[in-house]
A and B are shown apart, each in its own frame.
Chain A
Amino acid sequence: MPRRTDINRVLIIGSGPIVIGQACEFDYSGAQACKVLKEDGFEVILVNSNPATIMTDPAMATRTYVEPITVDSLERIIARERPDALLPTLGGQTGLNCAVDLAKAGVLEKYNVEVIGCDVEAIERGEDRKLFAEAMAEIGLECAKSGYAYGIEDAEKLADEMGFPLVLRPSFTLGGAGGGIAHNIKELREIVAQGLDLSPAGEVLVEESVLGWKEIEIEAMRDKKGNGIIICSIENFDAMGVHTGDSITVAPAMTLSKIEYQRVCTAALDILKKVGVQSGGSNVQFAINPKDGRLIVIEMNPRVSRSSALASKATGFPIAKFAAKLAVGYTLDEMPNDMTRVTPACFEPTIDYVVVKIPRFAFEKFKGTDTTLTTRMKAVGEVMSIGRTFEEALGKAARSLENNRAGIGFDGKGNFDEERFDELVGLPTEDRLFYMAEALRRGWSVEKVSEASQIDPWFVNRLKAMVDETAALEGKNLEALSYDELWRAKTFGASDIQIAHLTQTTEAQVRTRRKELGVVPAFKLVDTCAAEFASDTSYYYKTYEKTGDTLPSEKPKAMILGAGPNRIGQGIEFDYCCVHASYALADMGYETIMVNCNPETVSTDYDTSDRLYFEPLTYEDVMDIVDAEQPAGVVVTLGGQTPLKLAKPLEAAGVPIMGTKPEAIDLAEDRERFSRLLDELGIAYPAAGTADSFEEALEVADRLGYPLLVRPSYVLGGRGMVIAYNAEYLERYMNEATRISPDHPVYLDSFLEGAVELDVDALCDGKEVYIGGLLEHIEEAGIHSGDSSCCLPPFSLSQSIIDRVREHTATLALAVGVRGLINVQFAVKDSEIYVIEVNPRASRTVPFTSKASGVPLAKCAARIMAGESIASLNLPSDARELGHYSVKEAVMPFGRFPGADILLGPEMKSTGEVMGIGESFPIAYAKAALSIDYSLPLGGTVFISVCDRDKRSIAPIAHSLHNIGFKIVSTAGTASTLRASGIPVEVVRRVQDEQPNIGDMLANGEIDLVINTPFGQETRGDAYRMRTAAVRYGICYATTIAGAGALVRAIEVAKRDAESKDILVPLALQDLEQWNV
């Protein structure tokens, strides 16, 4: 059946900012969908508030709206663009929920928009656990015994019937937010209370526990003719009880026999049919009792999901692309398989390798939170690897994690908690894999490890094989190792670093010896058909086999090193830059080679670059590819810290580095050399010192005075960075810092309290500097730039300061020797300009700056790296007036980490960002705020409590709130300040005081907005409890005066708009000036 001709304009809703449970996999799927629909002649209208996405590049869709994903915002866009159809299955839970809300609000009917790809009833049947369980019973499938609780009493009654442990899942929440496992009545009450709050339906499913069962996922697709195919099966290494997003997973399923496998596949297709998936992909999760094979359906997602992105990367079958084509009328049997181009898509991919995914966590950022893995997802990213065996793939995945480890152990970096060792072999945490490997090394039996962890003995046996094979090299003489010994170790996933550690040599020596003996890997193709047919697509993985599939090419090759797993401080922004570089270099005639290990990204779409290597970003793995491909140049400055740290060793190995040279990177990163350079250039910077011990730190403090900005050297995302206001705190910090990284000194900078910070992104070709954009931070100095909201162009700085900042940037870029992108952070205090940091690489803000200015900076950078000049790029004047303001606001994951403080500081904590564009700063800020919170409080009660330092500046803010119509309540101290300014205020008791107090008011929904600013290191006090309560109850909050000021202005705008409907007007990127290079 050919494509439908009765629809022409298709609306696609993206997934919004990167949050835990919804990351850049939806950019990957959404971008695929936009591309394929546009190619097919459809007009695509795209809405996504996340500027760091490829899908929001102006060329991807016909009309691109970086606007809030709310019913109100979407209705305005629909009214303006009049799409014929809405495709809701590609924007994750956010997109799907928004589509359901639009339908319920009657918007779709009003504007005659047809939902395609899925209908609203099917979404509800898939997502509403009660309807789902009924549907399953009708087709003879079992769900876990369960019941619904609408209050704590219901849950207690169900617990009486089913006993403990019980799995609790709130309905309609993202990535299982608010879910958990209750082992007793106390936990039950706690989790149910929280779940009821979080569930939009006020409903929590209480379910029989299937802890310890096997968890299996099936990715399936179906078309409107009823053709159904299985794309991939996935088996979780971790047993049931750990959210699948937090589990190590393996594709294909390993321990299911044919008949069991056939049963889950049949069940999956029956479920798609029953739920009513008309056309598209779905993910179905099952639990299987390992003792008797009993099968239970856990859930299904009638949309493209994180697992489907993984399945696409694991099999080479582009699920999202086909889901989009199926939605517009095609059927599976009439589309060719993308890989082979001769076989049809209606063909179940078969694979001849094993795929392992390991999640990446960031608990170190959220002190105070429980690090045990549960049914509620906490991972911030993931890595995937491919090998010919599970062992080879697991070893590669383990060294892809960017956690400083070189594999599953044997790298001298195991830091085991000996007191809790036995417990931690069993307890699901991010470290369990390493504890299991260590336990096996210490002689624990497979049975004992399997029993403790409930992980299937198959996996434990394989892990033991890896441990045994690697341990066999311990203490051996590298030079005496035979070809066979080294080859075996490599086939079991050992890295050169591990072998170096075991043989007491260096990675370089191991590499040399390996190559002498001919122990070199081959690169094989991912082709969907296990080599049964020839394939066109160059998607490779490395394996220790004798023959490979790589083909020579005539063109010069440019290799781009990606960013690795998403983590806090290094996310989708860098992937965006890498993808743009790939496009630009391909345009220039290079054969582009992408190297990355993150399955969620657009960069690892085999369509993005000419060749894709799905490999870890380690020296060993990158050099193996370099040896095979012999690239003319390697790009290391666009993927964040991960490739940057490889720059030096790669150059030392003779690899041509494109753009800014490692020497320049070193100049900018070496504090002493850089300070000398700034002195020579006459540019000011905060007074600083370094210290290896507390005593040395005290000396520096005496010299510079408090407060001090303290941080370890060589870090990304401000890891471990704090502001010290006194010696006592400094001592505590130094003790911990010297424990975490004993080899690196600690930096102490004079902290410029109250300064305004600026980020500048610029291009430099060695002769000329082009200022991409100046971003003024809204929060004052001391908040990590990744967490700070900012505005482009600056909204409060004088032209003379802006001019000087531009001059400094140009001087620095030329002096450091940048060829490509540079990011400079400035602080402005009392009209004095200080340089805080220079990064001679793409920064996190490049996608935002590019979207705000219409100049594709990453593409420009790639062209400069390949030798073009800025002059030849025909860019608009970098001093031009933009005519609009763009605000970037960070998205915090605090809701996922109960117990962690929500205060902003020098250590980055945000997972993602949104962008708001408007004709003024408040409008842009209001849009950004709506993109995060989905609604702003336009009235009601505000609770204000600020520290003494902020007492003076709170009055105007409170005054505005009063004028808007808010009732103000405060703690006694703040209240007296407000009264002095003539603002009516009511005093409330603090959380620690007798009830009823502010804690009760928060819990009862009596507070609509919280403004609370902390001072110094106060952490576990009263205010902390209040702030965490605000997060828990989803109350809008501000923790800085500057942030509160901006928020209040946004509320003013939103309030006026609520009446007139003509202020928060949606803007399409295509309506703003765009440049292409």
Chain B
Amino acid sequence: MKTENTTAQHKAPALLMLEDGTCFEGVSCGATGEVFGEVCFNTAVVGYLEIISDPSYTGQILVMTYPQIGNYGVARADLQSEKLGLRGLVAHDINETPSNFRSEMSLPEFLATEGVVAISQVDTRALTQHIRDNGSLRAVISTSDLDRASLLKKVQASTPLSEQNVTQEVSCKRAFEYLDKNEAYDFILKPAAPAQHKVVVYDCGVTASLLRNVQRAGCAVTVAPWNTPAQDILTVKPDGVIFSNGPGNPEQAQETIAAAAELLGKIPVLGVGFGMQIMALAAGAEIERLKFGHHGCNIPVKNLTTGSTEITTQHHNFGVVFASLGTALAQEGADAKAALDNASGNALDNDAPVVKNERFGPIALTHTNLNDQTPEGISFLDIPAFGVQHHPDEASGSDESHYVFTDFIKLMDAKN
């Protein structure tokens, strides 16, 4: 009996080589070729399509820790961007016979069509542990060159992601009006609120989902390239500006930082993910590289203003160093420095720690990551601006992070 339509057909071999010489064998499961990128892992069980099409993964080779992906196929309506930014995909098993009423094709077919090189039958758990212990590494997936020594040489010669300006690569080239014509979610979503505000979104690698959520919250959305000068924005007089999520090292996006520095204080500003880092850099903060980043949809974040915990989706490798935003402010008798250290799960119902920024005045830490206590949200107290590190449009379980959009609407309402 001939084997057809099974996941693991006998396929062309492929190799994944890391810059430290660790090598994984597997089979080719998408486009063929050779790709370089920084390897990172994502722990989400569901949502492979949204993840691989999220521009935040531009320049990266993504490892899915959930071992059997592709099960519900590909519905193009779920894509977060037109063009896939990730360099390559690594999985244990990628299904070729998906089942879902919205599926248009299988994931391997889609990867091949989109030119994404993928390798499967990899022990992704062992690989994840390696990344966890050694941090993000440069890597290459090849279906053409199976010589390990040659691959190692090539990967060691490749440019590190943090030295690349990927923002330039993923951002739109000219501004456009966003209008969600996607009817695919009509079976689930309620109709959008009528547009009451004009919002410009700086596209640093924005996801379709973020734009859709802003629109649904009642905004007319204009998407602007990453390097749009602040003056151009101020001329069109929007009600608010959003710095979007995106891939890479924010320090590479100097033009965006400059624009943010000018816009802050003049107009309500929201930063999401990469966008929050841009805001912080505009205020003179430092950015640090996280060991292996935050990539998943189950990351617990404590909201320090309400005391509740939110389960969030995140995709980032860099983070804001909160203390670098300014000098600590003692608040209501409490030692702010101690409060900052305690801003973990145990410091319940404390007022959020606050620092005094030289340029923009007091800035509060509003959210912290419960796993590693890194900052997840900041709020400028004297000017209408705040940011969150997680993706509020993609809460995994409930819509508990959607308040970010309504809060931004309130900010714009107050300003007007």
Contact B188 A334 (CB under 8 A): no
Residue A943 at the B interface, CB < 8 A?
no
Q: Which residues on A sit within 8 Å (CB–CB) of B101?
A: 290-293
Residue A349 at the B interface, CB < 8 A?
yes
Residue A488 at the B interface, CB < 8 A?
yes
Q: Which residues on B sit within 8 Å (CB–CB) of A228?
A: 397-398, 400
Q: Which residues on A sit within 8 Å (CB–CB) of B399?
A: 266
Given known pairs A332-B309, A468-B3, the reply for A352 and B46 (CB within 8 Å) is no
Contact B46 A293 (CB under 8 A): no
Contact B187 A258 (CB under 8 A): no
Contact A546 B126 (CB under 8 A): yes
Residue B265 at the A interface, CB < 8 A?
no
Contact for B99 among A227, A269, A458, A531, CB less than 8 A: A458
Residue A1 at the B interface, CB < 8 A?
yes
**Cα of A349 to Cα of B300 in the assembled complex, Å:** 11
Interface size for B (C-beta < 8 A) is: 62
Contact A227 B123 (CB under 8 A): no
Residue A693 at the B interface, CB < 8 A?
no
**Cα of A835 to Cα of B52 in the assembled complex, Å:** 70
Q: Which residues on A sit within 8 Å (CB–CB) of B187?
A: 292-294
Contact A471 B308 (CB under 8 A): no
Q: Which residues on B sit within 8 Å (CB–CB) of A349?
A: 298
Contact for B396 among A291, A333, A344, A348, CB less than 8 A: A348
Contact for B371 among A227, A292, A344, CB less than 8 A: A344
Contact A1 B1 (CB under 8 A): no
Residue A325 at the B interface, CB < 8 A?
no
Closest to B371 in A: A343
Residue A963 at the B interface, CB < 8 A?
no
Contact A529 B309 (CB under 8 A): no
Residue B98 at the A interface, CB < 8 A?
yes
Closest to A1 in B: B348
Q: Which residues on B sit within 8 Å (CB–CB) of A350?
A: 43-45, 65-66, 296, 298
Q: Which residues on B sit within 8 Å (CB–CB) of A529?
A: 43
Contact A257 B102 (CB under 8 A): yes
**Cα of A787 to Cα of B195 in the assembled complex, Å:** 72
- Which of A226, A259, A443, A546 neighbours the largest number of chain B CB atoms within 10 Å of its CB? A259
Contact B348 A390 (CB under 8 A): no
- Which of B6, B8, B99, B399 neighbours the largest number of chain A CB atoms within 10 Å of its CB? B99
**Cα of A350 to Cα of B297 in the assembled complex, Å:** 9
Contact A352 B125 (CB under 8 A): yes
**Cα of A1060 to Cα of B220 in the assembled complex, Å:** 79
Q: Which of A169-177, A248-256, A625-633, A649-657 contacts B (4 or more CB under 8 A)?
A: A248-256
- For B32-46 the 0/1 string (1 means CB < 8 A from A) is 000000000101111
**Cα of A443 to Cα of B299 in the assembled complex, Å:** 46
Given known pairs A257-B78, A265-B398, A346-B300, the reply for A469 and B99 (CB within 8 Å) is no
Q: Which residues on A sit within 8 Å (CB–CB) of B124?
A: 352
Contact B132 A532 (CB under 8 A): yes
Q: Which residues on A sit within 8 Å (CB–CB) of B45?
A: 252, 350-351
Given known pairs A388-B92, A443-B1, the reply for A270 and B75 (CB within 8 Å) is no
For chain A residues 222-250, which have a beta carbon within 8 Å of chain B?
A: 225-230, 233
Contact for B346 among A252, A256, A334, A347, CB less than 8 A: A334
**Cα of A469 to Cα of B43 in the assembled complex, Å:** 29
- For A352-368 the 0/1 string (1 means CB < 8 A from B) is 11100000000000000
**Cα of A390 to Cα of B68 in the assembled complex, Å:** 8
Interface size on A, as a range, is 35 or more
Closest to B133 in A: A534
Q: Which residues on A sit within 8 Å (CB–CB) of B50?
A: 258
Contact A532 B43 (CB under 8 A): yes
Q: Which residues on B sit within 8 Å (CB–CB) of A269?
A: 397-398
Contact for B345 among A233, A260, A262, A333, CB less than 8 A: A333
Closest to B50 in A: A258
**Cα of A505 to Cα of B68 in the assembled complex, Å:** 33
Closest to B97 in A: A461
Residue A1074 at the B interface, CB < 8 A?
no
For chain B residues 270-310, which have a beta carbon within 8 Å of chain A?
A: 296-300, 302, 307-309
Closest to B49 in A: A258
Residue B67 at the A interface, CB < 8 A?
yes
- For B52-68 the 0/1 string (1 means CB < 8 A from A) is 00000000000001111
Given known pairs A348-B298, A388-B67, A472-B3, the reply for A255 and B398 (CB within 8 Å) is no
**Cα of A547 to Cα of B397 in the assembled complex, Å:** 33
Q: Which residues on B sit within 8 Å (CB–CB) of A256?
A: 46, 72, 100
Residue A121 at the B interface, CB < 8 A?
no
Return A923 CB to nearest CB of chain B, in Å.
52
Q: Which residues on A sit within 8 Å (CB–CB) of B296?
A: 350, 532
Q: Which residues on B sit within 8 Å (CB–CB) of A255?
A: 71-72, 98-100
Chain B, interface SS category:
loop
For chain A residues 918-963, which have a beta carbon within 8 Å of chain B?
A: none
Residue B7 at the A interface, CB < 8 A?
yes
Contact B1 A468 (CB under 8 A): yes
Contact B47 A261 (CB under 8 A): yes
Given known pairs A1-B348, A343-B371, the reply for A458 and B66 (CB within 8 Å) is no
**Cα of A270 to Cα of B398 in the assembled complex, Å:** 8
Residue B416 at the A interface, CB < 8 A?
no
Closest to A343 in B: B371
Contact B99 A524 (CB under 8 A): no
For chain A residues 251-295, which have a beta carbon within 8 Å of chain B?
A: 252-263, 265-266, 268-270, 290-294
Contact A532 B128 (CB under 8 A): yes
**Cα of A443 to Cα of B50 in the assembled complex, Å:** 37
Q: Which residues on B sit within 8 Å (CB–CB) of A353?
A: 67
Residue B351 at the A interface, CB < 8 A?
no
Contact for B97 among A252, A333, A347, A458, CB less than 8 A: A458
- For A543-554 the 0/1 string (1 means CB < 8 A from B) is 001110100000
Q: Which residues on B sit within 8 Å (CB–CB) of A259?
A: 78, 185, 188
Residue A202 at the B interface, CB < 8 A?
no
Return B402 CB to nearest CB of chain A, in Å.
10
**Cα of A354 to Cα of B7 in the assembled complex, Å:** 15
Q: Which residues on B sit within 8 Å (CB–CB) of A472?
A: 1, 3
Q: Which residues on A sit within 8 Å (CB–CB) of B331?
A: none
Residue A465 at the B interface, CB < 8 A?
yes
**Cα of A72 to Cα of B302 in the assembled complex, Å:** 47
Q: Which residues on A sit within 8 Å (CB–CB) of B68?
A: 254, 354, 388-390
Return A543 CB to nearest CB of chain B, in Å.
9
Return A235 CB to nearest CB of chain B, in Å.
10
**Cα of A531 to Cα of B66 in the assembled complex, Å:** 11
For chain A residues 522-556, which have a beta carbon within 8 Å of chain B?
A: 524, 529-534, 545-547, 549
Contact A352 B66 (CB under 8 A): yes
- Which of A349, A443, A533, A545 neighbours the largest number of chain B CB atoms within 10 Å of its CB? A545
For chain A residues 202-233, which have a beta carbon within 8 Å of chain B?
A: 220, 225-230, 233
Contact for B309 among A1, A252, A346, A531, CB less than 8 A: A346
- For B106-123 the 0/1 string (1 means CB < 8 A from A) is 000000000000000001
- Which of A443, A458, A533 neighbours the largest number of chain B CB atoms within 10 Å of its CB? A458
Q: Which residues on B sit within 8 Å (CB–CB) of A533?
A: 132, 371
Q: Which residues on A sit within 8 Å (CB–CB) of B6?
A: 461, 464-465, 468-469
Residue A456 at the B interface, CB < 8 A?
yes
- For A1015-1054 the 0/1 string (1 means CB < 8 A from B) is 0000000000000000000000000000000000000000
Residue A1013 at the B interface, CB < 8 A?
no
Return A299 CB to nearest CB of chain B, in Å.
20
A-B contact pairs, 11 of them (CB 8 A): A254-B68, A257-B102, A262-B396, A292-B101, A344-B370, A348-B298, A443-B1, A457-B97, A465-B5, A471-B1, A532-B43
Residue numbers of A with Cβ under 8 A of B are: 1, 220, 225-230, 233, 252-263, 265-266, 268-270, 290-294, 332-334, 342-344, 346-354, 388-390, 441, 443, 446, 456-458, 461-462, 464-465, 468-469, 471-472, 488, 491, 524, 529-534, 545-547, 549
Closest 7 CB pairs of A and B: A458-B99, A465-B6, A258-B47, A348-B298, A530-B65, A461-B97, A265-B397
